[in-house]
Amino acid sequence: MHKSGTRARLAKAHRCYTIAEAAELYGCHRNTVRLWMRQGLEPVGAVKPLLFHGSDLNAFHVARRREGKHPCKPGEIFCLPCRTVQRPAGGLFDYTPLTPITGNVTAICPDCGRLMHQRVNRARLAAFEIG
């Protein structure tokens, strides 16, 4: 399986791919490509074998990656179990320095009570202290 960052550029823009070729290109099963169709990937035509234009495959993966991004504002951490951005419960957090410039912030999610983690630099650490 490829890293998700490189997945968006795997398909050649001016080539068409069958379901089997797309699955081989992305290192997944053919049913995964069919799932992508249900999620919005459009074939070139309705005739079989279904073909996907390379630029459409690339655009589909860019859109999926963008959908999965949840940018955090200063003082916020992404909670994996909740799949949302949260402020630390009670405004409390722990900071563990890793280098003179960066460290890890650990806090408790106010919704599910689980630990949230984020790597921060000194500038972002100030946002946790203020917020």
CATH number reported for the structural domain that contains residue 39 in this entry: 1.10.10
Q: Same domain for 56 and 101?
A: no
The tally of domains found in the chain comes to 2
Domain extent at residue 45: 4-68
Walk along the chain (131 residues) in steps of 10 and give the mean pLDDT of each run.
56 93 94 94 90 93 82 87 89 90 92 92 76 54
SS3 track for 17-65: EEHHHHHHHHCCCHHHHHHHHHCCCCCCCCCCCCEEEHHHHHHHHHHHH
Mark whether 39 and 15 lie in a shared domain.
Answer: yes
pTM above 0.95, yes or no: no
60 and 8 housed in the same domain: yes
